[in-house]
Amino acid sequence: MWTLPQAVRDEMGIGAKEILDDRQIEEKIRKAQEQIKEELFDHHYNEVINNNPATNATWDGTNKTFQTQKYPIMDSNYDNTVNSDDVTARWLDTDYNYSVASVTVSNATFGVLRITQTNDAAIPANAENVVVEYYSCHREISKLHLENLTIFLAAHSVLNTLKAGTSISQEDLMKNEKIIMQSPNVFLKKYTRLLEQLQGTTIKGV
């Protein structure tokens, strides 16, 4: 995950396991991550891979280095690193059957990949196509920014749960009344401000 339940509690100023337990906050973190990925990243599916950026070689029976059409490649499975789990590749043979390819992320910032057959042989020169699936962004996004986005959006979800009062005692609601009443959209505003900053848009009055 891009953040942990305690980081959400720290942002909100609530005690350990107060109101919601780790499992409940982790679920809100997971949902926040999915929303962030949808709003900030671009999904590329069945995209034809570009040639080797250094030599311009394509799948010629010896070349194993290729480049995505868009980059940087982003962490799409929320494990705080970009690796082969974030990219899939397939190649199309002369009978128009797709085979799974092996992928190594050589340079996520510039979308450089090492793509081979599963036995580590180069993609055959007579292959009809080589396609990849991955997520990119229009700019590099730091781990800290992804963590903060997740914290803010998960905190907003926790705050909504507090406001709804679902399965929460009156005593717990009273303890957190200051958080609820002070600014009911404070974490959503923080999220929106940072998201639009990263998207390169300008916001006013938030």
What pLDDT does residue 19 have?
A: 66
Cα–Cα–Cα angle for 68, 73, 74, rounded to 5 degrees: 155
DSSP-derived secondary structure letter, 116 = E
How far, in Å, CA of 176 to CA of 100, rounded? 52
Measuring CA to CA, which residue among 147, 94, 101 is closest to residue 125?
A: 94
> pLDDT per residue over 18-46, tens digit each?
568 899 999 999 999 999 999 999 999 99
- Is the Cα dihedral 36, 39, 44, 45 positive or negative? positive
Give the CB-side neighbour count of residue 81, counting CA atoms within 13 A. Answer: 6
Given pLDDT bands bounded at 50, 70 and 90, which one contains residue 194? very high
Q: Please state, as a whole number, how many other Cβ atoms lie within 10 Å of the Cβ of residue 139.
A: 10
The answer to whether the beta carbons of residues 7 and 32 sit under 8 Å apart is no
| 3 state DSSP class of 114 | strand
pTM, full prediction: 0.87
> pLDDT per residue over 58-74, tens digit each?
999 999 999 999 999 99
DSSP-derived secondary structure letter, 50 = B
How far, in Å, CA of 105 to CA of 73, rounded? 9
The answer to whether the beta carbons of residues 168 and 19 sit under 8 Å apart is yes
